[in-house]
Structure 1
Amino acid sequence: MTSVFGLRRGERWWLTDPRGADFLSIGVVHADDTNLRFPHNAAIFAQRYGNSRERWIRDGLAADLRAWGFNTIGWTSEYVSGTGLATTGKPVDIGHSAGLSADELSAAGLPYTISLRVAEIEHWNGFPAFRDPREPAFAQWCDYLARTLCRPDDPNLLGYFLVDVPSWEMHPTGTGFARTELKTIAHAYYRAATEAIRRHDPQHLILGDRYGLRAGVPEQVLDIVPEYVDVLSVQAFPGVATERIAAAVDTIAGWHRRTGLPVLMADTGNWCPTRMSPHHTGSARNQAERGLGYTRTAEALAASPWCVGWHWCGWVENPLRGFGIKDPWDEPYTDLTEAMRTTNARILRELTDQAPRRGGSQQPIAHEEPSTVQP
C-alpha cells in the first residue's frame, strides 16, 4: 500500500509526509497557465514555455515555488469571469476555470491537492444549485467524481478538497438549504461525498470544504464535520493590519476548538493597486506592504499550534482577479516574493528546530472528541 500524507499531533499539529516526517504545507492557489494566454502576454508564454503547459509547470511554476520557499500546489482553478468577487461583493457568473489536471500536478514533483466540486453552492457563484444531497442522484454524482479524480497510489497527493466557500448560511442570491433541515442535509452531504472518496481511495486525507470567514459556517455544520473530514480548511483575507489578522486567527481558533480538527488556511492573500488594476484598493498600498502582510499572516498562523499550513491566493495577475505573486507579464513582484522567500525559510527553520526529529513510518492518529467551547 502506498505511503501517503497523514497527520500527527504533538505540541502542535503537523502533517506528515509519506516518509513520516513532519510537514507544514506552504502553498499557492489559482496557478493556471491560462493567465498567460491573454493578448497582452500570449507572446511571453510562447517565448518562455513554447506554448506548453508541461514546460510552464516544470520551468515556471514548480521552479519559482521552490525558489520562494513554497512546497505545495494548492487549488489551481482560477477566477476568469465577472468582477463581483473582488470589487462589489456580489456573486460572480461562472467564475472559475477547470484548473490543472491531477496528472499535470503530480508530474510537477511537489505535493498538490485535488478538488471534488460535489455541489455548486459557492458563496461567489451567481447561479448556485442547492440540490438535495439526500437524493440518490447526489451520491451517484459524488461517486462519479471520486472514481474519476481519486488517485489512491499517488504519494504526491496531499488530499482532497470539496467545495470552495460553500454557502451553508443564506446565499447572497437569497437561496439556500432549508434552515430547519440543515443538520440532516449536512450529514447527507458529507456522508455521500466522503464515502465516495473512501470507496476509491481509503488512505489520502480529506481536507473538506474551504469555509470562508466572510460567508461563515453554522455551528450545526461545524459540529458534524469531524465525523467526515480530517482537516478543517478555511479561507480568509484579513489584509495587512495586525489587528485584522489577529481577529481572523481568533475566529479560526474558535472553529478549531469546536471541531477538534487541525486547520489548513487553504486560501488567503492580499492585494494592492497595480499597473493593470490601479483601482484595486482596500488591502495594501503597494507590493512591499503586501510582503509585510504575508509575513504577519504566516507568523500568526505558524504561532497557532492547530495550523498545518497556508496557501496564498494568486499566481499570475489577470484582469479579473487583479492581483498575484507575479505581474501580468510573468515577472515576480520582487518586494513581495523576497518577503515570502525569507519568511518561509525562517519559519520552517524555527519550527523544525523546535520539533523533535522524526522519520520512518507514519503512525495513524485518532481525532479527539469535538469541544463544546463556543467560538
Structure 2
Amino acid sequence: MVSYELDRFGGWKGKRFQATGYFRVEKDERWWLVTPEGNAFLSFGINHLHPDLWRQNFNQATWKSRLGVADIYGSEFVPALKEWFVETCRRYGINTVGVHSDLSIANHQQPTLPYVQPIEYVDIPHYRDDVVDEDFVDVFSDSFRTHCDQMAKKIAAPLQDDPFLFAYAMTDCPLLTEEDCRERTDTIGGAPRKSRIGWPRRLRNLPRTAPGKQAYTETMRVIYQSQITEFNDTYDTSFESFEDLLDAESWRPDTDLSNGNENRDNVEFLKKVVSEYYQTARESILRHDPNHLFIGDKLNANTDSLDTLLPITSKYTDVIFIQMYGRYEVQGRGFDRWTKVTDKPFINGDTSYTMITENMPRPYGPVADDLAQRAEWTDELFINAFARPEFIGWHYCGLIDTPNLIPSKRLRQHSGFLDTHGTPYPDLEAVLNRRTKEMYKIATGGTKRR
C-alpha cells in the first residue's frame, strides 16, 4: 500500500527529490513542486484571508465566540484568527496561502504554511475602476528599474532565507491587451468601466525623450522595414521619417480596432513591453533573493492575455500563474493549447464555483444551480486538473462568503467554501475533504479522470 505521509510543508514523502532548503520545481514524468525537504508537493491554496471580513456587524458576535476573544479589535484577535485559519487549512487539506491574503495574519509571528508573496511593480489590475493612463509606466526607463530594485530590496531581501516562502507573484490580472483594456458595461465591482489606454497606446504617445517612445519607434521601424510610407498607409499619417514619428507627441490616442495592421503593431510592441517588464522584475528579485520561485503576474486566462503573451512571460517565470474561471472542459481546452507553447508547470491561482443565496444574489464566477452542482463542478475540476502532468496547483477563491451585507460587496459578491459565520457547505466540504486526501494519488494516476 502506498503511503501518503506528508512533511511539515505538505510535501509527499512517497516521492523524493534533492533537498535544497527552498521550494523549487522539477519534472519527473509530470511536473512537481519540491519542498525544502526534497519531497513532491502540489499546491492547494486558499485566497482572501482579510480580517475585516470577520469583523462585520452581522458576524462579529459569532467570531468572538468561535475565536474565544472578548474584543474583535483587540490584541488577541490576530493570533486567534491565525490559529483558527491554520487549523481550518489543516482540516480541509489546504497547504498554501494564496496571493490574495493578509500575510500579517497568516504569518503572524512566523509562517506555518507555504505562502505566495505579492510584489506588485505595476498597479494595473483588472478589478480596479480607477486605473489611470499614468499607471501604464514606462518600463524601459531607468526610473522603473530603480523602482523595481528598491521594491525588491524592501520586500524580497528580508525573505531570502524563509523556507516557507513558496513564490513571488506580481499583479492580479494586469490590463495588457486591447481586450483587457476595452470598455465594459459590467465589472467585478458591478459598475460600468471606461476603456483604458494600455501600454502600446500610452508609450507611443510619449515625447521622444521617453525610452518607451524610443522603443516603440524602433519597433515600428523594424516592422515596416524602415519604409515610413508603409507606416503612413497604415495610420493615415504624413510623417517624413521615423524621426518625425519619434518627435510626435499624443499623435494617436485611440486604436482603430478594424485596422488589422495597427492591431498587429500594438501586439508586437506589447510583447516587447512585457518582455522588458518581466526581465527587469525578475532580475530585481534575483538580485536580492536568489533562492525562491518567480511566477510573474496572475495572467487573466478568461481574456486573450495568456494566449497572446505566454510565449513572452514563460521565458522568465518558473511557473505559469493564471486566473481562469470555468468548468473543467473549458479550462482543459486552454491547458491543451498552452502546453503546446511552453513546457512549464501551471497553477490556477484563483478559481472556484459559486451559487446564489439570499445575501449573494450576484456572486462572481460560474454560478451553479445549487450546492450539489457546485460540489460536482469542484470535484470534476479537482480530479481532472490535478491528473494533468503540467498542473501543480489550484488556489481556491475564497475562504468565507462575502455577502452584500458588506458595503463594498453590495453589487457583486464572492462565495467561500464556508459561510460568513464559518459554517461549511456540507456537499462542498465532503468533496474537499475527500479530494485533498487523494491529491497525490490523483497526480500519479491512482484516481481516473471523470
Letter in 2 for 1:164: D
Look up the match of 1:314.
398
Determine the C-alpha separation between the residues in 2 that align with 1:15 and 1:161. Answer: 16
- 5+ unaligned residues in a row in structure 1: which ranges? 78-98, 239-243, 355-375
Kindly tell me: are residues 102 and 322 of structure 1, through their superposed partners in 2, closer, same or farther at Cα, counting changes over 3 Å? Answer: closer
The farther-off stretch of 188-197 and 39-48 is 39-48
Residue 119 of structure 1, CA deviation:
0.9
Look up the match of 2:50.
32
Determine helix, strand or coil for the equivalent of 2:349. strand
Q: 1:298 aligns with which of 379, 382, 385?
A: 382
C-alpha RMSD over aligned residues: 2.2
Cα-to-partner distance string for 1:187-218 (whole Å, 9 max, x where unaligned): 21101111111111101011111111223226
1:59-74 equivalences under 5 Å are 60-74=84-98
Judge conservation of contact 2:387–2:444 (CA < 8 Å) in 1: no
Residue 33 of structure 1, CA deviation:
2.1
Look up the match of 1:177.
199
- 5+ unaligned residues in a row in structure 2: which ranges? 1-18, 183-194, 201-265, 404-408
Larger RCO of the pair (alpha carbons < 8 Å, separation 6+)? 1
Q: 1:43 aligns with which of 45, 61, 65?
A: 61
Look up the match of 1:82.
none
Determine the C-alpha separation between the residues in 1 that align with 2:383 and 2:373. Answer: 15
Determine the C-alpha separation between the residues in 2 that align with 1:351 and 1:279. Answer: 34
1:183-202 equivalences under 5 Å are 183-202=271-290
Determine helix, strand or coil for the equivalent of 2:314. helix
Determine helix, strand or coil for the equivalent of 1:66. helix
Cα-to-partner distance string for 1:216-240 (whole Å, 9 max, x where unaligned): 22656322223311000111110xx
Residue 143 of structure 1, CA deviation:
2.0
Residue 152 of structure 1, CA deviation:
0.8
Judge conservation of contact 1:106–1:112 (CA < 8 Å) in 2: no
Look up the match of 2:125.
122
Residue 101 of structure 1, CA deviation:
3.1
Judge conservation of contact 1:29–1:314 (CA < 8 Å) in 2: yes
1:162-241 equivalences under 5 Å are 162-170=170-178, 171-172=181-182, 173-178=195-200, 179=266, 181-217=269-305, 221-238=309-326
Give the TM-score normalised by structure 2.
0.68
Judge conservation of contact 1:276–1:322 (CA < 8 Å) in 2: no
Percent identity over paired residues: 28
After TM superposition, which residue ranges in structure 1, 4 or more long, deviate above 3 angstroms? 278-282, 349-354
Kindly tell me: are residues 335 and 237 of structure 1, through their superposed partners in 2, closer, same or farther at Cα, counting changes over 3 Å? Answer: same
Tell me whether 1:351 sits opposite 2:443 in the alignment: yes
Give the TM-score normalised by structure 1.
0.81
Tell me whether 1:17 sits opposite 2:35 in the alignment: yes
Q: 1:54 aligns with which of 79, 82, 86?
A: 79
Determine the C-alpha separation between the residues in 2 that align with 1:279 and 1:168. Answer: 27
Larger Rg: 2
Determine the C-alpha separation between the residues in 1 that align with 2:26 and 2:338. Answer: 19
Determine helix, strand or coil for the equivalent of 1:258. coil
Judge conservation of contact 1:165–1:215 (CA < 8 Å) in 2: no
Q: 2:349 aligns with which of 243, 258, 266?
A: 266
Determine the C-alpha separation between the residues in 2 that align with 1:260 and 1:102. Answer: 35
Determine the C-alpha separation between the residues in 1 that align with 2:160 and 2:78. Answer: 24
Determine the C-alpha separation between the residues in 2 that align with 1:308 and 1:74. Answer: 14
